[in-house]
Amino acid sequence: MTVLLTGATGFLGCRILRALLADGTDEPLHVLGRGTPAELRDRVEAAVSRPEIPVAGPGAFRRLHCHSADLTRPGLGLEPGERSRITDGLTAVWHCAAQISLTGDPVTLYRTNVLGTRGVLELAQDAPAAHVLHVSTAFVAGRRRDGRVGEDDLSDAHGFQIPYEETKHTAERLVHAWCRRTGRAATILRPSLLVTDRRVPDGLPDHPLGVLARFVENALRRNSDDATWARILRGEAHGTAMTFRIPGDPAGSLNLVQADYAVEAMTRVLAHRTGGAGVHTVHVTHPQDTPVALVKSAFEARYPGTTVEITPEIPDPTPLEAAVIANTTHLSAYTTQHRTYDRTHLLQSVDGLPDPPPLDVAYLLRAMAPEAGAAPAGAPPGGLTASTGPAPLP
């Protein structure tokens, strides 16, 4: 199987690439991304390498063919000769790259997520034997609050909370139109919020909960004097060193899905679908939502001196709360949605893969700070220091 992958330097794409490299073959893997081919190779190898889990086989990286490409450029910025070198013999196209900023500029989001998908589909057109896997998101359901979202549902009737959702919705429509026009087959994969309890090495893209936790930690640190910060970190001041409010529905929940499970499920979906025509859409979601109350408990376990109040309204926010509100509004709004996701296509396509276990406080604690368990009480947690700047939310 000769595969093309976009987004291999990203949080999800590098995990998909790890799985592809472990397929036990010597088939070429074409990677499209920004920078010169040499820079891209360095970034991809760094993203895929994990000291604790070696990439399959010492020669695995020899399979990689790195091509400079930019989703926002006409023809993805590829030279004509290069296009045919990439598409020759291609059997699968994984389109994983996207701009995922919840607060991003709508024009950049459109150019990357919509025009970029069009560019990838045009490239796939030159590879008649290739099956297209388009990575979308469960959040194409937009502002829909209730009910069970079907895997074949694709509606803009409820509107969208943010441009990111709308551009991913429009990209799915392009995939449908392309399949109708060409008679080709594509699979749309819709993960919910991805989460991992494995340490993400510094400088590599993190999962949304990790980014959020880092942001809140930095805001907490900036708004505390040294004595308060020490009490926040120490168990002795249980809940009394600082109380702060985060916007959201305290009785709400979020669909968080373990990235390891999501990647295994996605690769099985491809193995299951061969041939045919038209679009097959699959929710890569968790069967059970995670209560927001558990995320709150995990945060308080991480910082025993804090009490976190999740509340829909925050009158007269403190500077800390204002900073948190400015960066979490969109994520918080997801806690007010009570919709669920149908998983019929998923379960039909993953060949008996067991459902992931429910996320508990211990998992969430590791997801927020995988090194937390190793940090001595009262010491600044490893890797997260007072000087670490706030990270942008995805």
Ligand X SMILES: NC(=O)c1ccc[n+]([C@@H]2O[C@H](COP(=O)([O-])OP(=O)(O)OC[C@H]3O[C@@H](n4cnc5c(N)ncnc54)[C@H](OP(=O)(O)O)[C@@H]3O)[C@@H](O)[C@H]2O)c1
Q: Are 159 and 169 in contact (CB under 8 A)?
A: no
Hey, what are 297's tokens?
A: 């408990």
Hey, what are 308's tokens?
A: 């976190």
The 5-44 site mask, x for binding ligand X (CB under 6 A), equals --x-xxxxx-------------------xx----------
The window from 96-104, 146-154, 245-253, 365-373 that contacts ligand X (CB under 6 A) reads 96-104
Q: Is 86 in the site for ligand X (CB under 6 A)?
A: no
CB 71 to ligand X: min, Å: 4
Report the residue number whose CB is nearest to ligand X: 10
The window from 56-64, 201-209, 236-244, 301-309 that contacts ligand X (CB under 6 A) reads 201-209
Residue 16: which of 7, 25, 24, 28 has the closest Cα?
7
Residue 392: which of 6, 108, 100, 138 has the closest Cα?
100
**Of 98 and 241, CB closest to ligand X:** 98
| One-character DSSP codes across 294-361 | HHHHHHHHHSTTEEEEEES--SS--HHHHHHHHHHHHHHHHTT---EE--HHHHHHSTTPPPPPPP-H
Q: Is 356 in the site for ligand X (CB under 6 A)?
A: no
Is 282 strand, coil or helix? strand
Match 């937390």 to its residue by tokens.
372
Match 């009737």 to its residue by tokens.
157
The window from 55-63, 68-76, 82-90, 299-307 that contacts ligand X (CB under 6 A) reads 68-76
Within positions 128 to 147, which residues make up the interface with ligand X, using CB under 6 A? 135, 137
Distance CA 304, CA 292 (A): 18
Phi, then psi, of 16 in degrees rounded to 5: -65, -40
Q: Are 393 and 103 in contact (CB under 8 A)?
A: yes
CB 14 to ligand X: min, Å: 8
**Of 208 and 381, CB closest to ligand X:** 208
Q: Is 72 in the site for ligand X (CB under 6 A)?
A: yes
Q: Is 196 in the site for ligand X (CB under 6 A)?
A: no
Q: Is 96 in the site for ligand X (CB under 6 A)?
A: yes
Instruction: Name the amino acid, one letter, at 100.
Output: I
CB 219 to ligand X: min, Å: 21
Distance CA 267, CA 369 (A): 28
Within positions 205 to 224, which residues make up the interface with ligand X, using CB under 6 A? 205, 207-208
The window from 69-77, 213-221, 287-295, 374-382 that contacts ligand X (CB under 6 A) reads 69-77
| Options 193, 213, 233, 294; binder of ligand X; rule CB under 6 A | 193
| Options 2, 68, 87, 112; binder of ligand X; rule CB under 6 A | 112
Distance CA 252, CA 64 (A): 43
C-alpha distances in Å from residue 101, one per residue of 26, 158, 190, 237: 35, 21, 17, 36
**Of 169 and 184, CB closest to ligand X:** 169
Q: Are 329 and 137 in contact (CB under 8 A)?
A: no
| Options 64, 93, 97, 279; binder of ligand X; rule CB under 6 A | 97
**Of 76 and 310, CB closest to ligand X:** 76
Residues in contact with ligand X, counted by CB under 6 A, come to a total of: 27
**What count of other Cβ atoms lies within 10 Å of the Cβ of residue 389?**
9
| Options 71, 298, 364, 393; binder of ligand X; rule CB under 6 A | 71
**Of 176 and 234, CB closest to ligand X:** 176
Hey, what are 220's tokens?
A: 């907490």
**Of 223 and 332, CB closest to ligand X:** 332
Binding residues for ligand X (CB under 6 A):
7, 9-13, 33-34, 70-72, 96-100, 112, 135, 137, 168, 191, 193-194, 205, 207-208, 394
